[in-house]
Amino acid sequence: MLDRLALPPRLIARALDDLHALAEGVRRLTEREGDLSALLRSVQELPRVEDELSARVDALHRWLEPLHRELTDLDDTAERLEAALAGVQATIQGLHDEIRDLRDRIPGI
């Protein structure tokens, strides 16, 4: 029995190193198992999350549709207004030219 207790220190150190290596391996495996479990839960929840996201996108589209129509109408109105202003500007330029011609015909002005 005393022979068993008289193990050389290097064998004890090696046994402790081996025990530490085993403990590290178990720790890494359980960490990975936790990561895999979390990944599995995420994959299982993905269809539900996708459905919720699709529903929100659809709701946003329905909410934005009237705004889009109003902005399209506003753009059309702005284009018509721009064309009308171009016509007014041409009319004013024509009147300005006529006034200048009239002024040039009046002697002394």
pLDDT, one tens digit per residue, over 31-52 is 766 677 777 888 899 899 899 9
In a domain, 85, yes or no: no
- Could you give the percent of the chain with pLDDT greater than 70? 86
Query: Which residues, in sequence order, are CB contacts of 74 under 8 Å at separation 6+?
Result: none
Please indicate, yes or no, if residue 69 is contained in any of the structural domains: yes
Domain membership of residue 18 (yes or no) is: yes
Read off the tokens for 13: 């150190």
> Rounded to whole angstroms, how far apart are CA atoms 96 and 2?
125
Query: What is the model's pTM?
Result: 0.43
Is the confidence at residue 91, as pLDDT, over 80? yes
Q: Examine residue 9 and state whether it is found in any structural domain, yes or no.
A: yes
Provide the domain limits for residue 9. 2-78
Q: What is the pLDDT of residue 33?
A: 66
